[in-house]
Amino acid sequence: MFKINNEYLKLPGSYLFSTIGKKVAAYTEKHPQEKIIRLGIGDVTLPLAPAVIESMHKAVDEMGEAATFKGYAPDLGYEFLRNAIAKQDYRMRGADIEIDEIFISDGAKSDSGNIGDIFARDNKIAVCDPVYPVYVDTNAMAGRAGDYDAKTGRWTDIIYMPCTAETDFAPELPEQTPDMIYLCFPNNPTGATITKSELQKWVDYAREKGAVIIYDAAYEAYISEDDVPHTIYECEGAKECAIEIRSFSKNAGFTGTRLGFTVVPKALKSGDVMLNSLWARRHGTKFNGAPYIIQRAGEAIYSEEGKAQTKEQVAYYMNNAKVIREGLADAGYSVSGGVNAPYIWLKTPDNMTSWEFFDYLLEQAHVVGTPGAGFGPHGEGYFRLTAFGSYENTVEAIARIRKM
Ligand code: MLT
């Protein structure tokens, strides 16, 4: 008789954004006349940049000719893309990352879930609270989280690092020593960031404790302030303790196109074993590469036109962020984020729970957001809005919220 992975049975409910999707679908069925504005999941709305489309068209044509047709992609990804990344995302920022330390994938969500494959089950993980739920749920699936306590909303074996208004929504070094530390800056969900010297403290701490940092830099393109690091490898010693995960979803609108990459430096070792080799083994065995057409699309964002066009898209969303932040602050809400990130984190009014506020907002303003409690116990009493809607919808959503 086959057996299932019982760890799945410990997971509470469904994935956060599936739950929200179901709630909104039920509401829409009951109220088909209402125009719902979705500022919940961080999904982009602008079309792909012209440089990206042009590059994809060209690649599609190549796939139709015997001479230029491509089958399986190389395990790590095409060199043209890894070269562009190594040069523009790393070397130009003073971080010496080589192309065989870069692994192209179908996105940061998959990589942040899959990276656990190369780590032992009994590693102790530390996560921010609130946190992007993928880190927690995938570790729970792997049996690394212990048991879920519905009363506290916590897993017994996870170290939670509270990110509260008192700490500007940044985590503090944990009292209990972790083996793996998940950090995401600019942060999803709070939109908070830390400075380079603050990040250096995490790198120093990880090296001292022999821990690995899984650094999710999916929102790097939204950084507007000078002292915020764009990559963890700007910090001294980070190549010995950190894996960095990047996405093309938020900087170039690839949420539906799917492309990302993970950097595993060769200097990162457990004893004599390079994590780079383990990830290469895992990647080669379980993944057959992002499609050629999509990797060419990704390469296009490193061209001069591609850079200018995607920068414009980021500026468009950041203008939405400003509309949300300033509109809500003006209406008396306590807001943060939205300066180096496309997420605005607000305190729910009148001591409402975050799910109560979700229902209230849906019913009164027909606006969908994300309840903070969905990101962890310290997200309770908070709510996330994304800047990824259209400008018109963003303006309308804020006007509706202000009228409630
Ligand atoms: C979010 O809304 O938190 C993001 O869209 C999730 C993701 O990028 O997977």
Specify whether the CB–CB gap between 340 and 217 falls below 8 A.
Answer: no
Provide the mean pLDDT of the chain.
97
Query: CA dihedral defined by 147, 148, 150, 152, rounded to 10 degrees?
Result: 100
Question: Is residue 239 lining ligand 1, measured as CB closer than 6 Å?
Answer: no
168-212, pLDDT tens digit by residue? 999 999 999 999 999 999 999 999 999 999 999 999 999 999 999
**How remote is the CA of residue 272 from the centroid of ligand 1, in Å?**
36
28-47, pLDDT tens digit by residue? 999 999 999 999 999 999 99
Per-residue model confidence (pLDDT) at position 16 = 86
- Cα–Cα distance for residue pair 224/170, rounded to 1 Å: 18
Each domain of the chain, given as residue ranges in start order, spans 6-47+307-403, 53-304
Pocket test of ligand 1: the residue of 109, 246, 368, 388 to mutate, having most ligand atoms within 8 Å of its CB, is: 109
Q: Is the model's pLDDT at 19 over the cut of 90?
A: no
210-240, pLDDT tens digit by residue? 999 999 999 999 999 999 999 999 999 999 9
Q: Is the pTM of this model over 0.95?
A: yes
**How remote is the CA of residue 220 from the centroid of ligand 1, in Å?**
14
Q: Is the model's pLDDT at 13 over the cut of 90?
A: no
- H/E stretch holding 161 reads strand 159-162
Instruction: With cut-offs at 50, 70 and 90, classify the pLDDT of residue 284.
Output: very high
Instruction: With cut-offs at 50, 70 and 90, classify the pLDDT of residue 55.
Output: very high
**Largest CA-CA distance found in the chain, in angstroms, rounded:** 66
C-alpha closest to that of 240 among 217, 278, 216, 270: 270
All residues at 6 or more sequence positions from 208 whose CB lies less than 8 Å from its CB, including other chains = none
- Cα–Cα distance for residue pair 42/186, rounded to 1 Å: 14
Mean pLDDT for 75-100 is: 97
Question: Is residue 171 lining ligand 1, measured as CB closer than 6 Å?
Answer: no
Mean pLDDT for 122-128 is: 98
Write down the CATH number for the domain with range 53-304: 3.40.640.10
Instruction: With cut-offs at 50, 70 and 90, classify the pLDDT of residue 17.
Output: confident
**How remote is the CA of residue 222 from the centroid of ligand 1, in Å?**
15
**How remote is the CA of residue 109 from the centroid of ligand 1, in Å?**
8
CATH topology of domain 6-47+307-403: Aspartate Aminotransferase, domain 1 (3.90.1150)
> Which atom of ligand 1 has the smallest separation from the CA of 17?
2
Question: Is residue 109 lining ligand 1, measured as CB closer than 6 Å?
Answer: yes
